[in-house]
Amino acid sequence: MTDSIPDLWPDMFPLPQELPPIALLRAQSKNLSDKTGGMVTTAVEVTEYSFYRKRERKETFSMEITDDMRKQIQGIQFESNPIFYVNTYLVAPYMKNYRTHLFELSHRASPYYPVRLTFEDESGDLSPEGEMPKSQISTATQEGLIILLKELFSRDSTQKLIGALYSASQAYKPDKPDRR
């Protein structure tokens, strides 16, 4: 029975020219781990997604496909383009995987860009709840994201936190391999 059901998918799907943002973030995780000898790394997690647009659908059933219906099918834009929220954490594996949030990046499933980065604002005062204010910045290109990430990784507060986690991890790291 399945032999008579045709394959309706096209032979090739268009592949994006840009790297997915998560690929850039995971590569940077490896780079940080290499630089710190595995004392500090990052965890990159897609924590949730949302369908940002919902619209009522009116379904029409017909036994015969007309030219008018073919024109309508050509103009369909799918509404289920989710937004992905990718959180990046600094992680100290030798400190029982202690982790602290570094930033959140959000983007649509397609196209990947523009992206939005949300991170703590170093210049602001603590809120009455004891939280740092948040800043957001967006970029429309992969090149722009690379520049923003480099700036974020080079911030004084990020560098000091990595240094503190590195130093503390050296104290937690066992001198000899665990032989359990």
Mean pLDDT of 14-29: 93
What crossing angle do the helices spanning 156-172 and 142-154 adopt, rounded to 10°?
60
Ramachandran class of 147: left when φ > 0, alpha when ψ lies in -120 to 50, beta otherwise = alpha
Q: Is residue 56's pLDDT more than 60?
A: no
Give mean pLDDT, residues 50-60: 45
| 134-139 vs 41-50, strand pairing mode | unpaired
Percent of the chain with pLDDT over 90: 54
pLDDT for 58 equals 43
Q: Which residue in the block uniquely carries the two structure tokens 């030798």?
A: 94
CA 158/CA 90 separation, integer angstroms: 9
More confident residue, 178 or 168: 168
Question: Tens digit of pLDDT for each residue in 112-135?
Answer: 999 999 998 877 677 777 777 888
Residue 60 has a pLDDT of: 43
Measured between alpha carbons, how far is 125 from 44 in angstroms, rounded to an integer? 28
Residue 38's pLDDT is 96
Q: For residue 75, is it left (φ>0), alpha (ψ between -120 and 50) or beta?
A: alpha
Average pLDDT score, the chain: 83
Q: What is the pLDDT of residue 36?
A: 97
Q: What is the helix (H) or strand (E) element at residue 105, kind and residue range?
A: strand 98-108
- Sheet with 115-120: strands ordered across: 41-50, 83-92, 98-108, 115-120, 134-139
Q: What percent of the chain stands above pLDDT 70?
A: 77
